[in-house]
Structures are given as structure tokens and as C-alpha cells.
Amino acid sequence: MSNPYQIRTDLLAMAKNMLDKTYDAQMEVAHKAMEIYKDNAEQALEAWKNYVPKMYTPDEIKAKAEELYSFVNNDKK
């Protein structure tokens, strides 16, 4: 049985992992766009600006963990 601190730590790790995977997928799209436009510097730069993701913040990790915790704490059965 996990104590409340372990549950919080696990939820934060899970939330960070989810955001990492989303960020990595978006970076892959940005890199593919760069590859498509590699022969045209202007188009490549524009593609990079359009597709490169913004790195998530600690507050976003906390919000995602709270979203996950709402499932655990759901009183409706």
C-alpha cells in the first residue's frame, strides 16, 4: 500500500512522462518538417517556427498530475 507522498510522487512522475512523450512527438514532427524543407532555408525556418513545441512548465506538470489525481480521488462509483 502506498502512502500519500508516494502517490503524489508517482502521479508527478506519470504526468511528467506523459508531457515528455507529447513533447517528443511534437519535436519529431518539427524535425520531419525541417527535413522536408532542408533545401530551402526560408521554408525550413518557417516550418521550425510553426512546429517546434514549447517546453512544458512545472505548473503544467502539476496540473496534469492533479488531473490524474482527480481520477483517484473520484467519489463517484
CA distance 52 to 31: 8
pLDDT digits (tens, 9 = 90+) for 16-60: 999 999 999 999 999 998 888 889 888 888 888 889 999 999 999
The half-sphere exposure of 22 on its side-chain side, counting CA atoms within 13 A, is 13
| Residue 2 C-alpha from the chain's centroid | 26
pTM for this entry: 0.80
CA distance 3 to 16: 20
- CB contact at 8 A, 1 and 33: no
Residue 72 binned pLDDT confidence (cut-offs 50, 70, 90):
confident
Per domain, the residue ranges of the chain are 4-58
Does pLDDT of 75 surpass 70?
no
